[in-house]
Amino acid sequence: MYHDLREKACADKATHVHLVGFFFLSLTFFAQHLYADIIVVGADYNEPIPLQGTGQAWMVPVYLSVPHITHAITDINVYLEITHDDVSDLEIYLQAPSGTTITLKNQWAPRWRNPRKNLGPILLDDQANQPITEGTSPYKGSFRPETTLSAFHGQSATGQWSLQIYDAIYADTGTLLRWELHIQTLTPEPLTIAYLALASLLARHIRKPNNAKSRAGHARHLF
């Protein structure tokens, strides 16, 4: 009887090790099996820059409404198409529903003899190789904005976003043709959640081998 109990205790100990291993393996599985959920929200416009005439003035703010997104922002990029006599004149701002505002582009020193015409189509992306300040006309491709978009990371994307453009120099004009938000969140896969729940249930049995060990010790005294 003692040997039977001892063998059972050893078997339970092995099961204990397997359960612990499975538990931590499941946690690793959970950490690695998140998928990027990307939503693109955009609209076409024909919005004059500035609003009227050729003076120093703001464009009418334009808005994009993002539907309900459960998870927080992990990455965000901005797509722009703008025609303008000299984009050096423009200051471009992006405001989140939370009120957080960043500068996508500042005003640059003008080039009277060689103006920088048009902006886009471009994608403003923190991971782009080239900052927008080092781009050349015509601006096309991916550029890093002047203020990092990571300021929005961890926030909710749900709600109304606004794009605001200020034309700081007289004489030049332009038009906003289109803008988009490319929003990424990380979502756990359903299978990952099931694995984690199973691991949690199995972890409850980790302490049970201690009872078998106690019974084996008690048997040793009896025989």
Nearest to 61 by CA among 29, 101, 21: 101
Start-to-end CA span in the chain (Å): 9
Element (H, E) at 21: helix 2-32
Q: What's the pLDDT score for residue 109?
A: 79
Mean pLDDT, residues 68-76 taken together: 93
CATH topology assigned to domain 36-187: Jelly Rolls (2.60.120)
Amino acid present at 147: T
Amino acid present at 132: I
Q: What's the pLDDT score for residue 13?
A: 46
Q: Is the pLDDT of residue 41 over 90?
A: yes
Amino acid present at 22: F
Cα dist. 17→34, 114, 119, 186 in Å? 27, 72, 61, 32
Element (H, E) at 188: strand 174-188
Q: Which positions ≥6 away from 147 have C-beta within 8 Å?
A: 102, 103, 104
Q: Is the pLDDT of residue 75 over 50?
A: yes
Is the model more confident about 170 or about 181?
Answer: 181
Mean pLDDT, residues 26-36 taken together: 52
Amino acid present at 61: P
Domain spans in the chain, listed from the N-terminal domain onward: 2-32+190-222, 36-187
What residues are paired with 42 via a beta bridge? 180
What confidence category does residue 203 fall into, taking pLDDT thresholds of 50, 70 and 90?
low
The proportion of the chain whose per-residue pLDDT surpasses 70, expressed as a percent, equals 64
CA–CA distance, 157 with 205 (Å, rounded to integer)? 41
Q: Which positions ≥6 away from 29 have C-beta within 8 Å?
A: 192, 195, 196
What confidence category does residue 23 fall into, taking pLDDT thresholds of 50, 70 and 90?
very low
Please state the φ and ψ torsions of residue 203, each to the nearest 5 degrees.
Answer: -65, -25
Q: Beta strand 57-58 with 34-49: parallel, antiparallel or unpaired?
A: unpaired
Q: For the packed helices 190-203 and 2-32, what is the interaxial angle rounded to 10 degrees?
A: 150
